[in-house]
Amino acid sequence: MGQITEDPIERWTAKRRAALVLRILKGETSVAEAARQHALRVAELENWQEQYLRAAENGLRRRPKDEDALKDEQRSGPHSLDIIS
């Protein structure tokens, strides 16, 4: 396993969260390894990943839902996201 050489991130901006989620989705790191490296909870990273995929799916719609509709959908409960590996 590699050692952490970066300074700890104090503020997780949307851009930083997206970059980390993208590394996980590309298979460059696992959720568990990223959580250890950055002192984050696995559940938090899984939530970021779900939000990222939901936003990506919405971005590919012909008629994207507005932000309020996405928030309402998120509050209504978990939805399955089919990911082809």
Q: What is the rounded average pLDDT of the residues 1-19?
A: 78
Residue 53 falls inside a structural domain: yes
Find out whether 5 and 16 touch, Cβ atoms under 8 Å: no
**Is the residue at 4 inside a domain?**
no
Q: What is the domain range of residue 60?
A: 14-64
Give the count of domains, the chain: 1
pLDDT tens-digit readout, 14-57: 999 999 999 999 999 999 999 999 999 999 999 999 999 999 98
Number of other CB atoms surrounding residue 21 within 10 Å: 21
Rounded CA-CA distance 65/70 in Å is 7
Confidence of residue 6 (pLDDT cuts 50, 70, 90): low
- Write down the pLDDT at residue 81: 55
